[in-house]
Amino acid sequence: MKPPTPSRLPHRSSAPSPGSASSGGSPAAAVVCGIGAWVPPRVVTNEELARRLDTSDDWIRTRTGIRRRHVVAPGVSTGELALQAGRRALRSAGGAPVEAVVLATTTPDRPCPATAPEVASRLGLGPVPAFDVAAVCTGFVYALATGSGLIAAGLARRVLVIGADAFSTIVDPHDRTTTAIFGDGAGAVVLRSGAPAEPGALGPFDLGSDGGLADLITVEAGGSRQRSTGRAAPPSDHYFRMDGRSVFRQAVLRMTESAQRVLDRAGLRIDEVDRFVGHQANARLLDAVADRLGLLPEHVVRHIDRVGNTAAASVPLALADAAHRGVVQPGHRVLLTAFGGGLTWGSAVLRWPDCRPVL
């Protein structure tokens, strides 16, 4: 058999060698250099939900802080959301090519294959490595850590990290609780290789999970566990289910502990944090975590009232919106933390760079 011709072999002459960095030979840091966000144009208000469900605007707002959410039109998938956000992040970063794509999502276009390779192809990125990360609402923080690891290992100089979910496709339209909470959207950042001390550098991270509590947040049908039974699943098993009270308690505990650990690792006091960007699951959850950490209300970034809980897209959407409105400014120390199914949780810190978001 003839060996492959050189023209068919991947060429990465510009890629760094493993463990290389901008100086000193230590691993490179991942630096945020672009950010983009996109939500579908269809808006569903609380009043619209109240007309078809046993609920009201007041009931939803007082329990969640949500006034409206965006949902995909028929035929629009998570891949389209990711494509739009990724395109905007690349534009924000100046349009230079990336060498890997990491997509965090719980609502992939199909069970197989992953959604990220098609997104990379549609973005015109060529045969770059691309894969999905499944950590539900913690997905974007996990994906950030993964992208940072690719850069630290010398496998890529620039990585596109996307959080995208179309949760409206997996919530029961007749369940006022989940339907009122979740919305659709995508946010993305471009990471580049850089120095640990420069603006935009990510780290340290804190990640964790507790699979013993996996049943608190589930979609029962569609996986190998259900399919291997050979029996059809009841329609309700195809929808997202959550034990709200237990999840709230776990989220407050895990987000608070994770955020404190990452601050300790970074050598930062809570009064040195300029902005707190937590997973936008519930306004009361954000307040509870901020209160336990000792954060002032004006330091908490809020976006949930306009988009709802967008799962893996939650943190990057809130961050892009805050940067766009000037709530997060260059030089601000930003604390990120999230919690999701799995159970999973994670946190990270960075000093925000001079980076203009594209929405």
Q: Which residues are catalytic, by number?
A: 137, 279, 309
CB atoms within 10 A of CB 356: 12
C-alpha closest to that of 205 among 154, 155, 162, 263: 263
CB 247 within 8 A of CB 217: yes
Q: How far apart are the first and last CA of the chain?
A: 51
Distance of CA 356 to the CA centre of its chain: 19
Tokens 């990640």 sit on residue: 207
Identify whether the C-beta of residue 358 lies closer than 8 Å to the C-beta of residue 88.
Answer: yes
* Spatial contact of 316 and 138, defined as CB atoms under 8 Å apart: no
| b (16+ CB within 10 A) / e for 291-326 | eebebeeebbbbbbebbbbbbbbbbbbbbbbbbeee
Residue carrying the six token digits 């894969």? 131
Q: What gap in Å lies between CA 274 and CA 65, rounded to an integer?
A: 23
Buried b (16+ CB within 10 A) or exposed e, 116-148: bbbbbeebebeebbbbbbbbbbbbbbbbbbbbb
Name the nearest CA neighbour of 170 among 116, 225, 209, 221.
221
Spatial contact of 355 and 33, defined as CB atoms under 8 Å apart: yes
- Of residues 44, 34, 112, the one with CA closest to residue 310: 44
Neighbours of 47 (CB within 10 A): 12
How far is 167 from 174, CA to CA, in rounded Å?
Answer: 14
Quickly tell me which residue has 């009361």 as its tokens.
Answer: 284
